[in-house]
Amino acid sequence: MPYEDDVALHGEVEILRVLVNSSWCAQKDDGAERPSSAAFVDSSNEASCFILAETDLDLIATRFPGKKIGIVTVAAARDAGFIVARDPGGGAGVPGHVVLVQRRAAPESKGHVRLARQLASSGRVAPLPEPRRDVPNGVP
């Protein structure tokens, strides 16, 4: 099923990507961390993310202990040619699942990587909370 941009998601809404590899983080000039372009490039052109205000950070922290998250806005994603499509069936049961799909540039092109770099440079990195023992892993 082709994904559709969810126009109900306004620009200031924040979306997160779990940064599973340290190379998915980069540093800004001021030393602060930001996501790297690698975090937003996906060979299948479906980068799996979550709406920050709708998801369960404790659940994500339980599944990815010690990992960080990259946070960008819906506006920045759209500026970089991505649509933000809801995918409630994805995300292995974690609520607020969306996919970023690059529509302006051809998949696997220079443009695809450039626009992922543009999106990444707009983002910030935050730690996940300490995993709570009372939160079930919830892996289906």
The least CB distance from residue 107 to other proteins, in Å, is: 8
Q: Is 108 in the site for other proteins (CB under 8 A)?
A: yes
> 24 — phi, psi (to 5°)?
-85, 0
Which pair of tokens denotes residue 98? 């969306």
Judged by beta carbon, residue 9 or residue 70, the one nearer other proteins is 70
Enumerate residues 6+ apart whose C-beta is below 8 A from 95. Answer: 50, 54, 55, 56
**CA-based nearest residue to 39, from 101, 91, 117, 103:** 117
Q: Which of 48, 52, 79, 126 binds other proteins (CB under 8 A)?
A: 48
**Contacting positions for other proteins (CB under 8 A):** 17-18, 20-24, 26, 28-29, 37-38, 41-48, 50, 60, 63-64, 90-92, 94, 97, 107-110, 112-114, 117, 121
